[in-house]
Amino acid sequence: MRVTISPEARTWLAERADPQVTVRRRVYRARCCVPDLPDLEVTLAPPPDGVPFNFHRLDGVDLYLEAALRTEPEVRLTLTGVGPFRRLALEGVRMVL
């Protein structure tokens, strides 16, 4: 798997003191007649202990990807949103319902 980072995400993360990004799968449980909803959780912190992660270093950014993620051959860390509502996203992950 090839991991890249967009220029916008690189610049945004460079403004942080110790850029560590953790990406893991999160499942939101439904209460009734709808299936559970899988999503990606991207946090600016190291991963929790006890869960296997793959480590990647990208231009001074420590990126931890949950080992169980199903990915395309190329994965890209990007920045989405506007102004104070910016957040990191990961492209190239196959989410299964």
Each domain of the chain, given as residue ranges in start order, spans 2-93
Q: Which fold has domain 2-93?
A: Hypothetical Protein Aq_1857; Chain: A; (2.60.300)
In sequence order, which ranges of 1-97 are alpha helices (DSSP H)? 7-14
Residue at 93: amino acid letter: V
Could you tell me the two tokens for 4? Answer: 């890249």
State whether residue 34 is helix, strand or coil. Answer: coil
pLDDT digits (tens, 9 = 90+) for 2-26: 999 999 999 999 888 888 999 998 8
- Angstrom distance (rounded) from CA 4 to CA 86: 19
Q: Closest Cα partner for 6 from 87, 83, 73?
A: 87
pLDDT of amino acid 23: 92
Sign of the C-alpha dihedral computed for residues 97, 3, 41 and 50 taken in this order: positive
pTM: 0.84
